[in-house]
């Protein structure tokens, strides 16, 4: 493919708004450069290739070719392969994480607290300890995983925590053992979510990641749904040896995770160009031509994904540069508070339904509708946020939904009214969850490999701080309707709505500022600027944030 001066000049003057050039049905396929849903970093071979060459440690360097072309059908085939073989396995792994995280809450309906000699305040203390340890482990875990490679670290974490989960079955009237197990689980599970986000981001384009994050978080919801069915079955086991059926919840679900972790060790590849393996086959997932497509489509979408290898450790200086990236701070602040109103309701869902007047044996099934509603609404809001290119406004709208449900719970009188309470709690837990959109944004707005590694961990840490606070909102002296707690949550939701709207204007402001400065430059000035600022970050004037 030859280059022309006019096309080269057009590419540079467009700045970040380049798009991959591929052939579809025998014609040149070029998405609208101004279409935010197909927004990419540089135009195919129309910009000097030295502006976007991957680092020497990037595993796909030998497949990088700015002049390479492919068909749209070939790319769709690649995406289908990634979805079926990679994304599905990562979703199964996350399913196991949530299955193990939620099993204690599900065991509440079977009297696990009474059998262990614990109170609801002890349960809250255990949740707080778990979240603190989870928080402490986030960044160290991400640093270790970046050095070892996610294909090693993710399965290791799964097998490790599965053993601890199974050990919960042997706790009996021992508060210290319960708290110790929760602490160990937090340390072993911390860092799992950001590791998965960073890993998937290395295989998918920025416009594709939200959909995969939606599948990722659907597995989170399905874990609660399937866990409810499993718990319902276990609760019907009649034991005559003095033990209780909740022990099977911990033992069986721990076994599931352990088996999945061992399988993942042999299944998930280190990088897009290293897919050969025992279970993956001697030929791997892709041939040479397909590897070219995988690598170049990713780098043409975001060249910063090539500035680090999958096993490049993150040095302290790079960590510090990521921590002080003030453009990402508002995103982390949203993560600090928006998750808080949902956590108490999710954790106490079984107890609240039981308090409304339903039988214990029915409670496990009564939580299922919230999971179904959550999947439908979460998928809808993720699609709409990407389609309209208004992620933060949809986040604000989702929290208006949450506000309505909390106001309902706060205003209804202290009487059973079991169907009214069940409906409100179900719609609260099943709200339009924007977590897939938010987690994808931590990668999309990072602008560099180092920040793409650190940002998901910092965002998840913000979520964990929120969980720590949330674990202490509903107190035993406020049971069973938690009016005081819901009043606190109403205030949090109002603040969250304001923060989402602020983020919208924050990123719009920086996009306008960058665009104005970039457009004020001449063609020659832009070339000089790109050569003098070769490092790909979200501080470069040709970068655009996703609002």
Tokens 């972790």 -> residue: 261
How confident is the model at residue 35, as a pLDDT?
38
411-432 pLDDT, tens per residue?
998 776 788 888 998 999 999 9
How confident is the model at residue 526, as a pLDDT?
86
The pair of structure tokens assigned to 245 is 């059926």
On whether the CB atoms of residues 48 and 259 are closer than 8 A, the answer is no
pLDDT classification of 330: cutoffs 50, 70, 90: very high
The pair of structure tokens assigned to 334 is 């949203």
Nearest of 340, 349, 125 to residue 231 by alpha carbon = 349
Residues 6+ apart with CB under 8 A from 172: 115, 116
45-97 pLDDT, tens per residue?
345 555 578 888 899 899 998 888 888 899 999 999 999 999 999 999 999 99
Dihedral over Cα of 163, 92, 369, 380: its sign: positive
Helix (H) / strand (E) element for 22: namely strand 22-24
* Number of other CB atoms surrounding residue 310 within 10 Å: 23
Question: For the chain, what is the total number of helices (H) and then of strands (E)?
Answer: 23, 2
Residues 6+ apart with CB under 8 A from 206: 39, 301, 302, 440, 443, 444, 546
The pair of structure tokens assigned to 14 is 């467009």
The pair of structure tokens assigned to 364 is 């496990």
Instruction: Calculate mean pLDDT across residues 244-263.
Output: 86
* Every domain of the chain and the residues it spans: 1-44, 72-511
Fold of 72-511: Growth Hormone; Chain: A; (1.20.1250)
Instruction: Calculate mean pLDDT across residues 232-259.
Output: 75
- Asked whether residue 403 carries a pLDDT value surpassing 90, the answer given is yes
- Asked whether residue 17 carries a pLDDT value surpassing 70, the answer given is no
Contacts of 400-408 spanning 24+ positions with Cβ under 8 A: 400/497, 401/427, 401/431, 401/432, 402/341, 402/342, 402/428, 402/431, 402/493, 403/490, 403/493, 403/494, 403/497, 405/431, 406/341, 406/486, 406/489, 406/490, 406/493, 407/490
The pair of structure tokens assigned to 505 is 């204007």
In whole angstroms, give the CA distance from residue 88 to residue 92.
Answer: 6
Instruction: Calculate mean pLDDT across residues 106-134.
Output: 79
Nearest of 470, 461, 450 to residue 193 by alpha carbon = 461
Candidate ranges 10-24, 34-48, 155-169, 467-481; pick with highest mean pLDDT: 155-169
């Amino acid at each position: 493919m030859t280059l022309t001066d006019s096309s080269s000049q057009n590419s540079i003057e467009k700045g970040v708004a380049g798009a991959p050039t591929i052939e579809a049905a025998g014609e040149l396929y070029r998405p609208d450069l101004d279409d935010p849903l197909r927004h990419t970093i540089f135009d195919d071979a129309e910009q000097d290739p030295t502006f976007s060459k991957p680092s020497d440690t990037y595993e796909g360097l030998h497949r990088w070719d700015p002049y390479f072309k492919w068909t749209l059908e070939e790319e769709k085939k690649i995406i289908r392969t990634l979805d079926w073989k990679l994304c599905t396995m990562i979703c199964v792994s996350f399913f196991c994480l949530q299955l193990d995280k939620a099993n204690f809450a599900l065991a509440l309906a079977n009297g696990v607290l009474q059998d262990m000699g614990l109170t609801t305040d002890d349960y809250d203390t255990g949740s707080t300890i778990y979240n603190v340890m989870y928080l402490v482990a986030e960044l160290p875990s991400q640093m270790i995983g970046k050095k070892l490679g996610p294909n090693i670290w993710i399965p290791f974490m799964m097998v490790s925590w599965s053993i601890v989960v199974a050990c919960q079955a042997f706790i009996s009237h021992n508060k210290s053992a319960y708290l110790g197990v929760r602490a160990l689980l937090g340390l072993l599970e911390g860092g799992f979510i950001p590791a998965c986000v960073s890993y998937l981001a290395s295989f998918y384009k920025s416009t594709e990641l939200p959909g995969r994050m939606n599948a990722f978080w659907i597995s989170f919801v399905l874990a609660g749904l399937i866990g409810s069915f499993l718990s319902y079955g276990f609760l019907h086991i009649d034991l005559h040896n003095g033990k209780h059926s909740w022990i099977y919840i911990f033992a069986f679900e721990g076994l599931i995770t352990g088996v999945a972790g061992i399988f993942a060790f042999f299944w998930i590849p280190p990088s897009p160009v290293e897919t050969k393996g025992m279970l993956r086959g001697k030929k791997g997932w892709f041939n040479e031509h397909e590897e070219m497509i995988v690598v170049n489509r990713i780098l043409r979408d975001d060249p910063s994904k090539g500035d680090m290898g999958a096993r490049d450790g993150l040095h302290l200086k790079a960590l510090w540069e990521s921590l002080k990236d003030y453009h990402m701070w508002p995103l982390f602040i949203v993560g600090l508070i928006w998750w808080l109103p949902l956590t108490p309701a999710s954790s106490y869902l079984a107890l609240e339904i039981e308090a409304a007047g339903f039988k214990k044996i029915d409670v496990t099934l009564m939580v299922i509708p919230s999971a179904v509603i959550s999947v439908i609404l979460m998928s809808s809001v993720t699609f709409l946020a990407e389609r309209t290119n208004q992620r933060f406004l949809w986040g604000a709208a989702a929290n208006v939904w949450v506000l309505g449900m909390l106001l309902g719970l706060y205003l209804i009188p202290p009487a059973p009214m079991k169907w009214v309470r069940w409906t409100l709690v179900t719609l609260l837990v099943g709200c339009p969850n924007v977590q897939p959109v938010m987690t994808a944004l931590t990668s999309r707005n990072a602008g560099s490999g180092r920040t793409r590694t650190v940002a998901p961990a910092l965002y998840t840490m913000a979520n964990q701080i929120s969980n720590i606070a949330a674990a202490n909102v509903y107190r035993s002296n406020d049971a069973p309707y938690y009016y005081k707690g819901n009043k606190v949550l109403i205030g949090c939701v109002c603040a969250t709505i304001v923060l989402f709207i602020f983020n919208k204007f924050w990123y719009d402001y920086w996009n306008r500022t960058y665009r104005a400065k970039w457009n004020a430059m001449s063609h020659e000035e832009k070339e000089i600027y790109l050569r003098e600022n070769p490092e790909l970050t979200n501080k470069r004037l040709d970068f655009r944030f996703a609002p």
